[in-house]
Structure 1
């Protein structure tokens, strides 16, 4: 059972890192699930405090990622239409041009949303698009930092046992 939990921990942590970039996967949640799998192995040295701290980090990062686009769009002078356009742009970009669309989608979506709201002010739409793009980069960066931190914690907790197991098997 411990081997299954360890493999699940690593798979979930790697999927969590990928999920920080791909909008369809909940990155930090998957990483945290991997951390829980590692915690429930018999050889884990993790304490309950680490589990609670990582939970708080995941909740904070997820909340920031949820509220950051709207806050940054408004901070850069945008409207609700710009916020909605940025959100739609992420998903449209993901399906039309997967690697580049994920990055450019929020920017273009916010610009289009602002232009729908007010066609006369193209410069403002570009500024709001830059704010939306910046919020996407910051949110993704925060999620990546948290997920990579969880992966490293899983690796450090599991490595001695994994090393001994490989040495005994081979």
Structure 2
């Protein structure tokens, strides 16, 4: 049973990243479910406080997504740039072996990815720096950062628990 939960958790985390690129399903929910599945498999052991606080953050992201017009919440403009930038930022931030560095790296990567998108022909309409750019960044970037933060938590916990000699710090 634990192997099935482990595989399901990994699939949910991969699907969460793909949901950043095509936001038809909230990626934060998939990532949060993946974190719980990995916990239930016994592979990682996040604290109850960590799970509760990120659960509240996921609910906030869902409420914001629900309140957005569907044309914005389902838009995919620049999501490839933000998703890949956020993933690169997450991995760079994970070198600090702390949750704060991982989330900060993901946020910086999403911001740089959005900035790179505005330099492409398809993203010129967002016009950095403008209120339209920052509104779009908040609407699309926040869910991406939360999703990547949850993926980063799972990855950091795997490294810290499965390879304790490699980890420098604990969450």
Q: TM-score, normalised by structure 2?
A: 0.54
**CA–CA distance in 2 between the matches of 1:21 and 1:89?**
14
Structure with a larger share of its residues in helix: 1
Q: Contact 2:13–2:30 (CA<8 Å) still a contact in 1?
A: yes
Shift of 1:43: 4.0
Distance in 2, matches of 1:89 and 1:44, equals 35
Give matches, 1:151-162, under 5 Å: 151-159=151-159
Larger radius of gyration: 1
Distance 1:88 1:139 in 2: 11
Q: Do the aligned residues in 1 keep the contact of 2:6 with 2:43 (CA within 8 Å)?
A: no
Q: Gapped runs of 5+ residues in structure 1?
A: 70-83, 104-125, 165-170
Moved over 6 A (4+): none
1:22 aligns to what? 22
- List alignment gaps of at least 5 residues for structure 2: 82-116, 118-125, 165-171
**Over aligned residue pairs, what C-alpha RMSD do you find?**
3.7
- Is 2:34 the counterpart of 1:34? yes
Partner of 1:63 in structure 2? 63
Q: 1:162 to 1:65 in 2, by over 3 A?
A: same
Q: 1:20 to 1:142 in 2, by over 3 A?
A: same
Cα pair 2:28 2:58 within 8 Å, conserved: yes
TM-score by length of 1: 0.55
Task: Give the CA deviation at 1:29.
Answer: 0.8
Residue matched to 1:47? 47
CA contact 1:5–1:41 (8 Å) conserved in 2: yes
After TM superposition, the structure 1 = structure 2 runs for residues 1-170 of structure 1, keeping only pairs within 5 Å, are 1-67=1-67, 69=68, 87-88=70-71, 134-159=134-159
User: Bigger CA drift: 155-164 or 141-150?
Assistant: 155-164
